Chains A and B, each alone.
Chain A
């Protein structure tokens, strides 16, 4: 290596990162020649916590896996437990779930467009989108009672009904958001400085995206037509018409456009769901204990395919609960996107997969040399931490 090569640590603390992760970049001038990615700074022990709580209590824990896709995780959990119980939510509940899930997608994508703008130094875009995102948050507050952690679902249905006076409000909000979406699309397509920073940056070719199992908008921006809502429909998605948005750009610009186009589809789904909202009950009563069994459920979270696995043993608590957040699937392709780019591209390429670290991080004990794995009790872990922090 020549002398001009040096390493720059991005993270665990860095202004481009909203949550801790570490990427050690090897730079030649401004060009990235190598990148080492390290995760695991925000492990929270959520999966273990599931085993100590009842199924009803877990409804509120699972939301806290992610503050932005709270509804996606809770919906996935509710679907999972309902499948184990052998019950199905009533049609009206399914539609309400769809409505809240799509509102959440709108809020998440608007948030992301703003963050992307901030990462490339376009703070005005950030301020604009975050202001418009308030409309989606207010609608969610009107429907569920909460802006962020909605607690919409209960096992077997939803907690609160959509009353008839909410419908005009939802439609008014949607009309405004639709107008703003058109405006953002115009900006993304015509603003030259955005194009300069996004076109041809962080390229992930279609075959690489398939090989590295990219999911969600990241995969769709690499021209892979894949969406859980279509290939494994849940809630009301099998009845509602919408299109999978793809883009063959394979770069950051494509990821921006895919998300903005998805905003349009969200509005389309919402209009249909609000118009065709079926009458009837919003939940069914279910027993507290779940019969023994295993189930996997999938949900298309705003960041991509969210996988939950649940193993029940006949009691009122799950025996094992496993969550694979979409960010983990997208991390594998990060190295591919970074190498060959420049230091200035790092923030936007990182942000383009919409990473959510605390949803992703899990802990496992592995000896890297021998490949041996083991488990530690809480006491052992505490002892180890105390030993490490002794001076």
Chain B
């Protein structure tokens, strides 16, 4: 039973399908906002386009420049995919309980999200390309901007539910019949913004700013490695949408009991993905200094304010 859970539902197969579906959703919605069509030909409405892209990249030549730091250069694409996949097992999807859950898994998830930024930096650094180095440095600096407010606001729901387990937080929301977003709307907003930065999407696509530094820290990666990294980005999107759903939107539960909980999860996380896509169609890219100073000037005080408000509410 565990093997099926691990490999099929809610395990690898389900997560991969979800990752590609959300990439398609993101691309399609983003394109429609820009008066474009987006993916169109592969599968119905281009639904299979992300999978086709993945397979195409797998088949492409994998170029390793002579100057790269080989062990690191090869390790980064694998780790960057494995880390968010690991964290996804901690997110409740098909029921109130996650596949794996223990006291403190929220902290573990935040830790993995930090590791992802470090992976981006290492990937850029090991490439020894000027654009990659700049992109890696920017990725590391960007972490300084969004990590602190994100960590603070993610702890907010934990304070309310008096538990550091994502599963327990979802349980609290189901038992009390109230979603965290009602108690912590600022926290929800900051989580969405920080997620944009985490996923390197406009307006925070600074580490991979195409017109400035080619593809940033990903410049030297090609073929299989690039395929894995692109898949990792999709998995990160699922992780971010799932975590936001679990912590703020009541997780896989809803007012109508007949609808299975996994459907509730899909509906809610789809809404989060659409919010992210909509936001990235609205803005121009920030500069790295503007991003960091803006984050420390506005996001960190707001995040602390959110915690204070929660403490007052709990009294």
- Interface, chain A (partner B; CB < 8 A): 6-9, 14-16, 30, 117-125, 127-128, 131, 191, 193-194, 196-197, 342-347
Contacts and interface: CB of A to CB of B under 8 A. Distances in A.
B34 to A, nearest CB: 4
A298 to B, nearest CB: 33
B278 to A, nearest CB: 11
B282 interface: yes
A131 B284 CA distance: 19
A194 B212 contact: no
Contact of A127 (B35, B284, B289): B35
Given A30-B289, A127-B34, A343-B213, A197 B284 contact: yes
Contacts, number: 79
B288 A16 contact: no
A130 to B, nearest CB: 9
B44 interface: no
Interface string B164-202: 000000000000000000000000000000000000001
Contact of A30 (B33, B282, B288): B288
Contacts of B36: 127
Interface in B261-309: 281-290
Contact of A193 (B130, B212, B213, B284): B284
Q: Is the interface of B mostly helix, strand, loop or mixed?
A: loop
Nearest to A130: B35
Nearest to A31: B289
A131 B35 contact: yes
A121 B284 contact: yes
B281 A344 contact: no
| A-B pairs with lowest CB-CB distance, top 5 | A121-B285, A122-B284, A127-B34, A193-B284, A347-B211
A21 B213 CA distance: 16
B121 interface: no
B145 interface: no
B131 interface: yes
A130 B93 CA distance: 42
A26 to B, nearest CB: 12
B282 to A, nearest CB: 7
B209 interface: yes
A346 B212 contact: yes
Contacts of A7: 130
A16 B211 CA distance: 4
Contacts of A197: 284-287
Contacts of A120: 211, 284-285
Given A193-B284, A344-B288, A124 B209 contact: no
Interface string B60-76: 00000000000000000
Contacts of A344: 206, 209, 212, 285, 287-288
A15 B211 contact: yes
Contacts of A127: 34-36
Given A8-B134, A196-B284, A196-B287, A343 B34 contact: no
Contacts of A342: 287, 289
A22 to B, nearest CB: 14
Interface in B27-58: 33-36
B251 interface: no
B130 A6 contact: yes
A197 B286 CA distance: 7
Interface string B207-222: 0011111100000000
Contacts of A121: 202-203, 205, 209-211, 283-285
Contacts of A347: 211-212
Nearest to A191: B284
A389 B6 CA distance: 58
A9 B284 CA distance: 24
